[in-house]
Amino acid sequence: MARTLVSQANLRSFVVRDAAPLTTSFIASDAFNVQGANQLQLLVSFSKGDSTGCHLKIEFSEDKNTWYQESALALSEECDVANHKAVVRNIDSTSNIVISVPLSASFFRVSAKAISDTANTQLSIIASIANI
More confidently predicted of 87 and 8: 87
Q: How confident is the model at residue 82 (pLDDT cuts 50, 70, 90)?
A: confident
Identity of the amino acid at 76: S
pLDDT at 71: 93
For each of the domains in the chain, give its residue range(s) and CATH number, in order of start: 4-130 (2.60.120.380)
Q: Cα separation of 88 and 72, whole Å?
A: 10
Please tell me the number of Cα atoms within 13 Å of 38 on its side-chain side. 2
- Classify the C-alpha dihedral 19-90-93-99 as positive or negative: negative
pLDDT at 7: 58
pLDDT at 81: 78
Q: Give the global pTM.
A: 0.88
User: What does the pLDDT look like over 52-77, one tens digit per residue?
Assistant: 999 999 999 999 999 999 999 887 77
- Are the C-beta atoms of 31 and 111 separated by less than 8 Å? no
- Determine how many CB atoms are found less than 10 A away from the CB of residue 29: 17
Q: How confident is the model at residue 2 (pLDDT cuts 50, 70, 90)?
A: low
Q: Cα separation of 84 and 66, whole Å?
A: 19
User: What does the pLDDT look like over 15-47, one tens digit per residue?
Assistant: 999 999 999 999 999 999 999 999 999 999 999
Identity of the amino acid at 70: E
Within the chain, where are the H helices? Answer: none
